[in-house]
Structure 1
Amino acid sequence: MIQQFILLGEGYNDLYELLELAQSNQSRVHMLLRLDTTYQQKNKSSLVLILNPASPGKMMPLYICLEGIPSPDDVPSKRYDLFEQLSGQLDIPIHQLKVKSSQNFEDLNLYYQYLIGVLRMNRYIPPLQ
C-alpha cells in the first residue's frame, strides 16, 4: 500500500477543504491527527486527515495542513476548534504526536518520508507491503 501526503496549505480555506474531505468521505476516515512541532521558534501544529484507500485502490492519502496553526496548548485557535468539532461529529478521536519540524529537512519529500516512518512505527498507518 502506498501512503502519500497531500499538502493543502495553512489557511482557513485549506482547513475547510480538509473538513469537507472528511465529511464527504466519512466511511473512509482512518484517523484524525495533530502533529506538534516547533517551527521558526514557535509552537505550531499540523492537522492531518488520513483516509483508507479507495476501493479497489492501493493508495492511503494523508491530507495535511502543514505547520500553520498555533499550538492550541499555547493559543486558542478557531481553526483547531473546527477540527475538534469534526472529531466530535465523526466520533473519531484526534491522535497527537510531537515531531520534528519540516525546517530540519532539505526537501519536503524527505520530511514526508520521516513522518510516514513515525506513523508506521506508532502503528497509526499500516507497514509497507
Structure 2
Amino acid sequence: MIQKFIELGEGYSDLYELIELGNRMPERIHQAVAFYSEKNNKPVCSLALIMKPALKDKFQPIYICREGIPNPHEIPNQRFTMFQEMVENSGLSLKEFTIKPSVTFPETALYYQYLTGILRTNKMLPPLS
C-alpha cells in the first residue's frame, strides 16, 4: 500500500476544504490527527485526515494542512474547533502529537517521511505491503 501526504495548504482557507472532505466522506476517514510544533517561535498546529483506501485501491491519502493554525492549547481558535467538531460528528476522536517543525528538515519530503514514521510507530498507518 502506498501512503502519501497531500498538502492542501497551510490551514488558512484551505482548512475549510479539509473539513468539507471529512463532512462529505466520514465513512472514509481512518484517523484524524493534530500535530503540534513551534515554528518561528510561534505555537502552530497541522491538521490531517488519514483516509481509508478507496475500494480495492492500494493508495491511502493523508490530507494535511501544514503549520498554519495556531496551537489551540495556547491560542484558542475557531478553525481548530470546526475541525474537531467534524471529527466528532464522524464518530472519531482526534489523535494528538507534539513533533518537530517542518523547518527542521531541509526538504518537505523528509518532513513527511518523519510524520509517516510517527504514524506507523503508533499503528495509525498499516505497514507497507
TM-score (norm 1): 0.96
* Structure 2 alignment gaps of length 5 or more: none
Report the number of matched residues: 129
RMSD between aligned residues: 1.0
1:43 deviation in Å?
1.0
* Structure 1 alignment gaps of length 5 or more: none
Aligned to 1:76: 76
- After TM superposition, which residue ranges in structure 1, 4 or more long, deviate above 4 angstroms? none
Aligned to 1:13: 13
Q: Separation in 2 of the partners of 1:47 and 1:95?
A: 10
1:91 deviation in Å?
1.7
For residues 19-30 of structure 1, the aligned pairs below 5 Å read 19-30=19-30
1:69 deviation in Å?
0.6
Q: Secondary structure at the match of 2:17?
A: helix
1:13 deviation in Å?
2.3
1:84 deviation in Å?
1.3
1:56 deviation in Å?
1.9
